[in-house]
Amino acid sequence: MGKYLKQAREKKSYTLEDMTELTNIEKKYLQALEKEEYDLLPSPFYARVFLKTYAKYLNLNISSLLQLYESSQMAKQSSTPIKPKIEAVELPKRSPAKKKKISSLWLIVAIILILGMVYMLFQ
């Protein structure tokens, strides 16, 4: 499909710079379309939008190009190994009552230490 886009562009004697001005699509994205390097595009949504726009300015059949794109993406997905999803696990939060118990325990320990130091000073 990428070669087809490039041939259609060259047949009309357009450069990539010309197409960038006509379509308002960055040159690097037009090159990615012509090389079928869809991973260089911002997202699959933009790939479809860019293809529609590019095809429109080259007077190509938009639906045929989109079908080719979709089938190439489906073939790519079926050949790509499935990566396991890593999900974030939320750790259990301490309840306010438990926090209060821990705070109280530290307060008691601090008071005992202070009383112990005062006792040692006055002996």
Rounded to an integer, what distance in angstroms lies between the CA atom of residue 16 and that of residue 69?
20
Instruction: State both tokens at 52.
Output: 């529609």
pLDDT in the model for residue 74: 82
CA-based nearest residue to 32, from 71, 52, 54, 2: 2
Which parts of the chain register pLDDT below 50? Answer: none
pLDDT in the model for residue 43: 87
Q: Exposed, middle or buried, 51 (CB in 10 Å: 0-12/13-18/19+)?
A: buried
Rounded to an integer, what distance in angstroms lies between the CA atom of residue 105 and that of residue 123?
27
